[in-house]
Chains A and B, each alone.
Chain A
Amino acid sequence: MLDFKLAPQESDAHEKAGERIYDLIVIGGGPAGLTAAIYACRARLDTLVLAGALPGGQPANTDMVENYPGFPQGVTGADLAQLFQDQAERFGARIELDNVMSVDFSSRPFSVSTYGVTYKGRTVIVATGANPRRLGVPGEDKFYGRGVSACATCDGFFYQDRTVVVVGGGDSAIAEGLFLTKFAREVIVIHRRDELRATKIFQEQAFANPKMRFVWDTVVEEILGDETVTGVRVRNVKTGAESVIETDGVFIYVGMEPATEIFAGQLELNEQGYVIADRRQRTNIPGVFAAGDVQDPYYRQIVIAAGTGAVAAMEVEKFLAEQE
Chain B
Amino acid sequence: MALLNPDIQNQVRELFADLAGPVQIKMFTQDFECSYCKETRQLAEEVAALSDLISIEVFDFVADKDKADELGIDKIPAIAIIGKEDYGVRFYGIPSGYEFASLLHAIKWAASGRTELSAAGIKFLQELDKPVHMQVFVTPTCPYCPTSVTLAHQMAIVSPMVRADMIEAQEFPHLSMRYQVMGVPRTVINDVAHLEGAAPEPMVLDKIREALAKS
| Chain A interfacial positions (CB closer than 8 Å to B) | 2-7, 9, 11, 13, 53-54, 56, 60-61, 78, 99, 115-116, 144-149, 151, 153-155, 157-158, 227-229, 249
Contacts and interface: CB of A to CB of B under 8 A. Distances in A.
Contacts of A158: 169, 176, 181-183
Interface stretch (B25-33, B49-57, B66-74, B143-151): B143-151
A78 B139 CA distance: 14
Nearest to B96: A2
Contacts of B143: 54, 56, 60-61, 78, 153-154
Contacts of B100: 4-6
B180 A154 contact: no
B175 interface: no
A6 B96 contact: no
Nearest to B14: A9
B182 A6 contact: no
A6 B169 contact: no
Contact of B183 (A5, A9, A11, A155): A155
Q: Which 10 pairs show the lowest CB-CB distances between chains A and B?
A: A145-B196, A7-B101, A154-B142, A4-B100, A145-B183, A155-B183, A60-B143, A2-B96, A53-B147, A153-B141
A115 B183 contact: no
A115 B118 contact: yes
A3 B101 CA distance: 11
A24 B4 CA distance: 35
Given A6-B12, A13-B116, A154 B200 contact: no
B198 A53 contact: yes
A7 B11 CA distance: 11
A157 B144 contact: no
10 contacts: A2-B94, A2-B96, A3-B97, A4-B96, A5-B97, A6-B8, A13-B116, A54-B143, A154-B183, A158-B176
Interface in B104-150: 104-105, 108, 116, 118, 139, 141-147
A67 to B, nearest CB: 20
A99 B182 CA distance: 26
A42 to B, nearest CB: 22
Contacts of B176: 158
Nearest to B40: A2
Given A4-B3, A157-B170, A146 B142 contact: no
Most buried by A among B11, B143, B169, B197: B143
A227 B180 CA distance: 9
Interface of B: 3-4, 8, 11-12, 15, 39, 43, 94, 96-98, 100-101, 104-105, 108, 116, 118, 139, 141-147, 169-170, 176, 180-184, 186, 196-198, 200-201
Contacts of A99: 200
B200 A157 contact: no
A149 B186 CA distance: 12
Contact of B147 (A3, A13, A54): A54
A95 B186 CA distance: 26
Given A5-B101, A53-B198, A154-B184, 14 more contacts: A4-B3, A5-B97, A5-B98, A54-B143, A54-B144, A146-B183, A146-B186, A147-B183, A153-B141, A153-B143, A154-B141, A157-B169, A158-B183, A227-B180
Contact of B180 (A5, A54, A144, A228): A228
Given A5-B97, A115-B200, A154 B12 contact: no
Contact of B4 (A4, A53, A60, A154): A4
Contacts of A7: 98, 101, 146
Nearest to B118: A116
Contacts of B141: 78, 153-154
B144 A151 contact: yes
A154 B144 contact: yes
Contact of B182 (A4, A115, A146): A146
Contact of B144 (A53, A78, A115, A227): A53
B196 A144 contact: yes
Contacts of A60: 143
A228 B182 contact: yes
B15 A9 contact: yes
Contacts of A153: 141-143
A141 to B, nearest CB: 10
A249 to B, nearest CB: 7
A144 B142 CA distance: 16
Nearest to B181: A158
B97 A145 contact: no
